[in-house]
Amino acid sequence: MVDIEGFLIDLDGTVYLGDTPIDGADGFFRTLEQNETPYLLLTNNSTQTPLKIANKLKSMGIRVRPEHIYTSAMATGDFLRQEYGEKRKAFVIGEEGLLESLLSINWQLVENENEAEFVIVGLDRKLTYEKLERASLAVQQGAKFIACNTDSYLPTPYGFLPGSGAIVCAIETTTGVKPKVIGKPEPIIIEEALSQLGTPKEKTAIVGDRLETDIEAGKRAGIKTILVLTGAKKEEREIKKYNPDYVFKDIGELWRDFLKQRKNLLF
């Protein structure tokens, strides 16, 4: 790990579980700050703003500035601005994080499917049939279909709930049109994050607990991959299949290894 100069770090299952921080997370971030090591917390969450995520982390005793947080909504906005410019019209299914990202690139949010040049979908916990209807009609009329991510479910203490992927699937099934997906495991979010981070691909690593999203995204993007064994359940055969570059028990063990590597560089 001595050659790693920057980190992209997953949140849920890696930094915390539910409302409980994982031991060593705050220490790892403080060490990265002290060593001036570039890092971003990379999440498929499209509903919240960086400030709200930072405040949630603060309530757990984890101190991270909002500028160190990069969401799939932010990656969607950055990608759309680069590919299509500003002042476009979009019909959006999503919440505050996605809406804020699109407004920040001067896109117009429309409610009429006949005006929409794009249909952009993230998690929307106030989803209605009318929204699905309008989104489906807009796509059938030629609007470009963009998905922040295709996470099919959200884990909660009470069981699994539909994720944004379930919403995307409804529109895709109705229209027969596959969306352009921005979030993990697609490499676009990694590429957008790298442009923010400023470190070369070969010297950047993604840290995460999910093989099929975090590790797969890193592999597709051509960066190093670090699996932590907290969070999502993982079978040994699955770990071998995805073949992460490094495996640690948790982010605390990664932190201790990082400290050891940096100490060795001084002697």
Residues serving a catalytic function are 10, 12
Helix or strand (DSSP H, E) at 53: helix 50-59
- Give the span between the Cα atoms of 6 and 117, in whole angstroms: 37
Helices 72-84, 188-197: inter-axial angle, 10-degree rounding: 90
Helix or strand (DSSP H, E) at 133: helix 129-140
What residue has token string 């995460």? 208
Helix or strand (DSSP H, E) at 236: helix 236-242
Residue 226 near residue 249 (C-beta atoms within 8 A): no
Task: For Cα atoms 166, 168, 174, give the angle at the middle one, nearest 5 degrees.
Answer: 105
First to last CA, the chain: 17
Torsion-angle region of 243 (φ positive above 0: left; ψ -120 to 50: alpha; else: beta): left
For residue 68, what are its two tokens?
Answer: 């160190």
